Amino acid sequence: MFEKVLIANRGESALRIHRACREMGIQTVAVHSTADSDAMHVRLADESVCIGPPSPRESYLNIPAILTAAAITGADAIHPGIGFMAENATFAEMVEEHGFVFIGPTPQHIRIMGDKITAKRTVKELGLPTVPGSDGVVATLEAAKPLAARIGYPVLIKASAGGGGKGMKVASSAKDLAEAYTLARNEARAAFGNDEVYLEKYLAHPRHIEVQILGDTHGHAIHLGERDCSIQRRHQKVIEEAPSPGLNDAERAQIGKLAASVVQRLGYRGVGTLEFLYENGRFYFIEMNTRLQIEHTITEMVTGLDLVRAQIRVAAGLPLGIKQSDVLPSGHAIECRINAENPETFIPSPGLVTDFHAPGGLGVRVDSALYSGYRVPPYYDSMIAKLIVHGKTRNECLLRLRRSLEEFVIGGIETTLPLHRRLVAQPDFIDGRYDIHWLEGFLDPLS
Ligand code: MV4
């Protein structure tokens, strides 16, 4: 096992990795920007290295600075945390070239899944259902026309380098195709420096279901059930839950089994997520995330497994040590992402946290790097806390979530806590009746 791990991240995700390392007897090295000298992840780590100025490009995304910090502290391995370097294949490659272990998948797996066309082709060949569409890049508008007609409108033009909704345009009918196609390519070129696009049938009201998977270097792979991440705004998840209230047990078993078999045949190492759209009883693969995700916590709550511990073990070459039949999900978990933002306008609200009181009690978990007296810097993601609640049933979970949100106090800055208190009182949410557009409709009934 590793003796010392460098955590190349900040905030609650850096804390999450630190906690797993601590429990495994592994020393931790924090890296931080000059804006984060007082951050909790720096305080908790055994050692810390300042790697640059506040701008992420010059610090948390600065590969030479991170590798140097690992070298001078004598770390064996680097954990990228969530975000920043977590899905950067070049970074993973450089980490290994410099003699450190990258705690994550191989650079090749990150690269395959980072290209959405290659990812779709790869998993389709291994038996996953995909959205009907073009078999690969659609290089010209002339090629797009007959393809779109065959797929049937509405069609969606997606960027191969995309994800997170950038470079994605809907064409409702043939007369919209030229504009949507051109816009998608231009947006993709501007955002990713790659304007390759592909076509898919547009699904109007799907749920977003993702399956957590875990593989080792000994040919084993398992799934840890699904999460429903449909409650989102502008491609930012707001609430996630496990299991999904929209699936029955047969559907759940079917997609889990399929996901695990694909991951096993990929020879995938580490944790990952297969993302699906789900509509009218069918699953359609859209993307694979080759990292730990923010919402891994709800899977931990229903399975009782420590996903970061598992990730570190398989990166060190150890076998999974658990079989599919050992995974026995129980009860229900919901996560609310709490951001330092105005709860109506979503304008970021960094600044001094004057009060911080986290809820507690049975089945309540708060993952946050906040403390009273901490100043939330303006340079980074606005998520400041995750409230995760578990209950024996979905109803018990909802009651516990409501009372935990009542207890939670974050003073001095604006947060999205009031939004969460409204959301958990909505009949559609209580009944589990929502799709990927539900939250935007709730926030803006005229849209
Ligand atoms: C889709 C879709 C409808 N039909 N693909 C959004 C970003 C990327 N991850 C995939 N996305 C979508 N792909 C087809 N064929 C709708 C979305 C989508 C979406 C997906 C998951 C979660 C939230 C979303 C919000 C808007 C659109």
Question: Predicted confidence band at 446 (pLDDT cuts at 50, 70, 90)?
Answer: confident
Lookup: tokens for 349: 């609200």
Judged against a pLDDT cut of 90, whether residue 15 lies above it is answered with yes
Q: Whose CA is nearest to atom 17 of ligand 1?
A: 165
Judged against a pLDDT cut of 90, whether residue 99 lies above it is answered with yes
186-193, long-range: CB within 8 Å, 24+ apart, which pairs?
A: 187/159, 188/159, 188/160, 188/161, 188/162, 191/159, 191/161, 191/162, 191/166, 191/167, 192/159, 192/161, 192/162, 192/166, 192/167, 193/161
Domain ranges of the chain: 4-103, 132-201, 207-443
Of all residues in the chain, what percent carry a pLDDT higher than 90?
Answer: 98
Do 209 and 192 meet the contact criterion of CB atoms below 8 Å apart?
A: no
CATH architecture of 207-443: 2-Layer Sandwich (3.30)
Read off the pTM.
0.98
Q: pLDDT tens-digit profile of 361-388? A: 999 999 999 999 999 999 999 999 999 9
Q: Whose CA is nearest to atom 5 of ligand 1?
A: 202
Q: pLDDT tens-digit profile of 310-345? A: 999 999 999 999 999 999 999 999 999 999 999 999
Say how many Å lie between the CA of residue 232 and the centre of ligand 1.
Answer: 11
Do 196 and 144 meet the contact criterion of CB atoms below 8 Å apart?
A: no
Do 51 and 70 meet the contact criterion of CB atoms below 8 Å apart?
A: no
Say how many Å lie between the CA of residue 35 and the centre of ligand 1.
Answer: 35
Q: What is the 3-state secondary structure (H, E, C) of 272-314?
A: EEEEEEEECCEEEEEEEECCCCCCHHHHHHHHCCCHHHHHHHH
Q: Dihedral angle at the C-alpha atoms of 201, 202, 207, 210, nearest 10 degrees?
A: 50
Alpha-carbon distance of 29 to 26, in angstroms, equals 10
Alpha-carbon distance of 244 to 156, in angstroms, equals 25
Pocket test of ligand 1: the residue of 235, 279, 283 to mutate, having most ligand atoms within 8 Å of its CB, is 235
Of residues 154, 160, 161, 336, the one with CA closest to residue 236: 336
Q: pLDDT tens-digit profile of 180-198? A: 999 999 999 999 999 999 9
Q: Whose CA is nearest to atom 19 of ligand 1?
A: 436
Judged against a pLDDT cut of 90, whether residue 166 lies above it is answered with no
Do 132 and 145 meet the contact criterion of CB atoms below 8 Å apart?
A: no
Tell whether domain 4-103 is in CATH 3.40.50.20: yes
Say how many Å lie between the CA of residue 165 and the centre of ligand 1.
Answer: 7
Alpha-carbon distance of 359 to 330, in angstroms, equals 22
At 167 the pLDDT is 85
Alpha-carbon distance of 98 to 117, in angstroms, equals 31
Of all residues in the chain, what percent carry a pLDDT higher than 70?
Answer: 100
Q: Going by DSSP bridges, is the β-strand pair 197-201/27-33 parallel, antiparallel, or unpaired?
A: unpaired
Q: Going by DSSP bridges, is the β-strand pair 4-7/27-33 parallel, antiparallel, or unpaired?
A: parallel
Alpha helices in 24-173 (DSSP H): 40-44, 63-73, 89-97, 107-114, 116-125, 141-151
Question: Predicted confidence band at 84 (pLDDT cuts at 50, 70, 90)?
Answer: very high
- Neighbouring CB atoms inside 10 A of 321's CB total 12
Q: Give me the residue label for tokens 């690969």.
A: 136
Among 10, 111, 291, 365, the active-site one is 291
Judged against a pLDDT cut of 90, whether residue 260 lies above it is answered with yes
- Neighbouring CB atoms inside 10 A of 140's CB total 9
> % helix / strand / coil in the chain, to the nearest 5?
35, 25, 40
Mean pLDDT computed over 267-273:
97
Ligand 1 atom nearest 229 alpha carbon: 22
Q: How far is CA 71 from CA 3, 100, 273, in A?
A: 14, 9, 31
Interior/surface letters 33-66, b for 16+ CB within 10 angstroms, e for the rest: bebbeebbbbebbebbbbbbeeebeebbbbeebb
Catalytic residue flag (residue 291): yes
Say how many Å lie between the CA of residue 401 and the centre of ligand 1.
Answer: 28
Q: Whose CA is nearest to atom 6 of ligand 1?
A: 165
Q: Is 301 exposed, middle or buried (0-12, 13-18, 19+ CB in 10 A)?
A: buried
Say how many Å lie between the CA of residue 120 and the centre of ligand 1.
Answer: 14
Q: What is the 3-state secondary structure (H, E, C) of 325-379?
A: HHCCCCCEEEEEEEECECCCCCCECCEECCEEECCCCCCEEEEECCCCCCEECCC
Judge whether 132-201 and 207-443 match in fold. no
At 270 the pLDDT is 97
Pocket test of ligand 1: the residue of 156, 240, 288 to mutate, having most ligand atoms within 8 Å of its CB, is 156
Which residues make Cβ contacts (< 8 Å) with residue 331, sequence separation at least 6? Answer: 301, 302, 390, 391, 392, 393, 396, 397
Tell whether domain 132-201 is in CATH 3.30.1490.20: yes
Ligand 1 atom nearest 232 alpha carbon: 23
Judged against a pLDDT cut of 90, whether residue 51 lies above it is answered with yes
Q: pLDDT tens-digit profile of 105-158? A: 999 999 999 999 999 999 999 999 999 999 899 999 999 999 999 999 999 999
Say how many Å lie between the CA of residue 411 and the centre of ligand 1.
Answer: 35
Mean pLDDT computed over 403-421:
98
Q: Whose CA is nearest to atom 14 of ligand 1?
A: 202
**Residues framing ligand 1 (Cβ under 6 A):** 131, 156, 163-165, 168, 200-203, 208, 232, 235, 277, 286-287, 436
Alpha-carbon distance of 146 to 427, in angstroms, equals 44
27-31, long-range: CB within 8 Å, 24+ apart, which pairs?
A: 27/3, 28/4, 29/4, 29/5, 29/69, 29/70, 29/73, 29/75, 31/6, 31/7, 31/59, 31/60, 31/65, 31/66, 31/69
